[in-house]
Amino acid sequence: MNKLIKEAWDNLVEACKSNIDEQGMSEIERAFNFAHQVLGEETWSNGDIILVHSLEVAEVVASEISLGSNSIIAGILHNVTYENVKNRPDLKKIEKKFGASVAGILEGMAKINALGTDTVDLHSENYRKLMLALAGDVRVILIKISDRLHVMRNLDNQPRKVQEKISVETSHLYAPLAHRLGLYYVNSEMLDLCLKNLNPDAYTHVDERLKETETERRNFVAEFVKPIEDKLRDRGFDFDMKARTKSIHSIWNKMQNKKVSFDEVYDLFAIRVILDSKQELEKSDCWQVYSIVTDEYQSNPERMRDWITVPKSNGYESLHATVLGPHNKWVEIQIRTRRMDEVAEKGLAAHWRYKGNSGGSELEKWLSNVREILENPELNVVDFIDDFSTDIYTDEIFVFTPKGDLKRLPAGATLLDFAYEIHSEVGDKCVGGMLDGKKVTLRHKLKNGDQIAIDTSNNQKPKMDWLDFVVTSKAKNRIKASVNEEQKREAANGKEILTRKLKNWKIEYNDEAIRTLIKHYNLKLAQELYYHISIGKIDTLDIKELLVEKEADESTKERLEEVLPADKVKDFEFTGGDDYLVIDNNIKNVNHKLAPCCNPIFGDEIFGFVTINEGIKIHRRNCPNAKQMIERYPYRVIPAKWRDSKKRSSFQATIKLSGTDEVGILTQITHVISKDIGVSMRSINIDSENGEFEGTLRVYVNNLEHLDFLMNKLQNIKGVLHVSRADA
């Protein structure tokens, strides 16, 4: 047997001694012999022996994650189905030899290997497939994490580009997964190795400073723990105390985020108290130790964390306190039992050993949520990567439903995140909620212990701006999916509108026409074009102008028939060689409206403007909006003139006045108006300052001549210096 293979096998046997029984070891040895028979001394392209890698991965599975014999066997066999292996066995043969459980894990590993490369581009669709393969069985994740940790430990002899690519993928995927599964040391080591490969100067700086300050830290810890140790012994506790230095990556991150130097990072290490307690006494023992520590050293209540009463979703249990130690230095102290420490060291695998499969229920729920998100075909992979990494490392808060059911959410979660956590449909219809008897909005940020009741409405729909304040991946992806669904419906409607219009205009609906429109409106997809047409952001009349040359002799009536229903057009009167639309001076005429922006009066020079939803609006030729309408939409401008009529009608006009604030000026103005029987005043507003006044009158007059007469009379009032007609 090759010396390197024998050494790797001996190390694996040693790692299995503490957890694996005799029968399990026999199965593991059988797996090793089978793998040796298949792989022999075959190597990767870089010369490394494949079987050595497999055995070393199995050792990580056994010693650092503490999984059972089936997982260790899967670790040994995970490369026998590698496509370049000469005597590659199929999964049916492996299932027959080692059982369905091992074959199932290897099938998950094979899906990952089938993606074709050792690393997956973070921006590719293959990333989704990789995540789906991982989300199938937690043991596949754990073995793949072990595999990646081994790869990271042996990156030194790889080319620089490979080091960087594998490190980026590890920091985005495998390290966050390790953290989520409670494998804090694996996560820390992976991130340290990522920093070493991606930013070697930063890694070296922190590493050297830690070595320089090691003696100082050791002396401080000895001084800090002595009085605590004495009191714990006096109370009869069986315990260990040790200091745990922060990871290099964690220290560097803090230096960057807080913009401080190494010497200004006060929590370089934490001191851990590990108790040998009976399981039924664990909580009370931890709280007693907490009391002893905080009696000795002043605590910071804002930094207290209780993960014993309600453990983290990955099974982590511990009491954390920050206290003021010797020389006025703040120190974090972590209090836990031996069982809790093993869960913290070995993650959910250890949690299952103590609690059976019930310990995995939270994880299965999380994996189910990940699968649900990944199976959404609309998923933006890049967004998912960012959200995934962010969510994993965020602190948790615990909130409750009205019935008292506990929900875990990331710190900073809003009421809307909580609604989506309950159910996707509850989130979609959420309009707010009640907290401590008070109404709160969707954006309200939740705190630990909040009990929330959600209010919903069937009229509510998810909105794009909700993405500005929700923080959970579940909420973000559901909102995006719902908004996309709504956009699809609108787009289908817009496409139908466009095809119908083109058919009416006798324009062919083809790719060239759509490309022309997409380019003109600076859009990326046809779906965006259809969506904008449906919601009215793009006017179909503009589209016609783009696609065809307007005929110069097109009549006013033809233009109207194009944009208004036929039954409306037939009631309009067209007369004269220039084909004018004749407007009655009776404003109750249902076929047109007077534009409020300029309030035309009988006698004004006017034109008609065809609107989409409000028929024809009549504007004055000198309307402030006329220039823009005529330039942008010439095909919607209709020549118009008033019909001569003896019927008296009223038109609203606005008059602006200014002048010297004489005594009784307001009385004189109202007197002039009231004396004119034909004028009806709607409102008057006068502002006076520093002996001058400005006023606005809104009146009803019969025609332009009538308005001019009234303005002339107002101009003759003593103190009135300026009178003019306003647009509205």
Q: What is the mean pLDDT of residues 600-628?
A: 84
Q: What is the mean pLDDT of residues 613-640?
A: 82
Q: What is the mean pLDDT of residues 363-368?
A: 60
* pLDDT of 388 above 90: no
Q: What is the pLDDT of residue 335?
A: 96
Predicted confidence band at 673 (pLDDT cuts at 50, 70, 90)?
Answer: confident
Q: What is the pLDDT of residues 22-39, one digit of tens each?
A: 888 999 999 999 989 888
Reference 250, options 269, 232, 264, 263; nearest CA is 269
Phi, psi of 130 (to 5 degrees): -60, -50
Q: What is the pLDDT of residues 452-508, one digit of tens each?
A: 999 999 988 888 889 889 988 888 888 887 887 778 888 888 899 888 888 888 888
Are 697 and 654 spatial neighbours (Cβ–Cβ below 8 Å)?
A: yes
Question: Regarding predicted confidence, which is higher, 411 or 152?
Answer: 152
The mean pLDDT of the chain is 81
What's the CA gap between 717 and 728, in Å, rounded? 23
Question: Regarding predicted confidence, which is higher, 456 or 140?
Answer: 456
Q: What is the mean pLDDT of residues 378-384?
A: 54
Q: What torsion, rounded to 10 degrees, do the Cα atoms 46, 48, 50, 52 define?
A: -160
* pLDDT of 570 above 90: no
* pLDDT of 354 above 90: no
Phi, psi of 404 (to 5 degrees): 95, 5
Predicted confidence band at 359 (pLDDT cuts at 50, 70, 90)?
Answer: very low
Reference 131, options 466, 473, 480, 428; nearest CA is 473
Q: Give percent above pLDDT 70 in the chain.
A: 82
Of 41-45, 204-208, 375-379, give the lowest mean pLDDT range.
Answer: 375-379
Q: What element of type H or E holds 324?
A: strand 319-324
* pLDDT of 368 above 70: no
Q: What is the mean pLDDT of residues 637-644?
A: 80
Predicted confidence band at 419 (pLDDT cuts at 50, 70, 90)?
Answer: very high
Q: What torsion, rounded to 10 degrees, do the Cα atoms 703, 705, 708, 713 define?
A: -100
3-class secondary-structure state, position 680:
strand
Of 77-81, 198-202, 573-577, 592-596, give the lowest mean pLDDT range.
Answer: 573-577
Q: What is the mean pLDDT of residues 227-238?
A: 93
Judged on CB neighbours under 10 Å (0-12, 13-18, 19+), 431 is middle
CA distances from 421 to 369, 439, 454 (A): 10, 19, 11
Reference 320, options 336, 341, 343, 338; nearest CA is 336
Q: What is the mean pLDDT of residues 56-79?
A: 87
Q: Identify the CATH homologous superfamily for domain 208-346.
A: Beta Polymerase, domain 2 (3.30.460.10)
Q: What is the pLDDT of residue 476?
A: 87
Q: What is the pLDDT of residue 569?
A: 56
* pLDDT of 213 above 80: yes
Distance of CA 226 to the CA centre of its chain: 48
* pLDDT of 350 above 60: no
Q: Identify the CATH homologous superfamily for domain 3-183.
A: Hypothetical protein af1432 (1.10.3210.10)
CA distances from 367 to 136, 144, 565 (A): 8, 15, 56
Q: Which range among 166-180, 277-291, 699-713 has the greatest average pLDDT?
A: 277-291
* pLDDT of 151 above 80: yes
Q: What is the pLDDT of residues 287-312, one digit of tens each?
A: 999 999 999 999 988 888 888 988 87
The length of the chain, given as a count of residues: 728
Encoding tokens for residue 553? Answer: 């002799």
Q: What is the pLDDT of residue 428?
A: 92
* pLDDT of 590 above 50: no
Q: What is the pLDDT of residue 130?
A: 65
Of 33-47, 236-250, 355-369, give the lowest mean pLDDT range.
Answer: 355-369
Are 304 and 264 spatial neighbours (Cβ–Cβ below 8 Å)?
A: no
Q: What is the pLDDT of residue 646?
A: 61
Q: What is the mean pLDDT of residues 588-609?
A: 79
Predicted confidence band at 553 (pLDDT cuts at 50, 70, 90)?
Answer: very low
Q: What is the pLDDT of residues 700-725, one digit of tens each?
A: 888 888 888 888 888 888 888 889 98
* pLDDT of 587 above 60: no
- The CATH architecture that domain 651-726 belongs to is 2-Layer Sandwich (3.30)
Predicted confidence band at 671 (pLDDT cuts at 50, 70, 90)?
Answer: confident
* pLDDT of 234 above 80: yes
Q: What is the pLDDT of residue 702?
A: 82
* pLDDT of 381 above 90: no
What's the CA gap between 521 and 515, in Å, rounded? 10
Predicted confidence band at 319 (pLDDT cuts at 50, 70, 90)?
Answer: very high
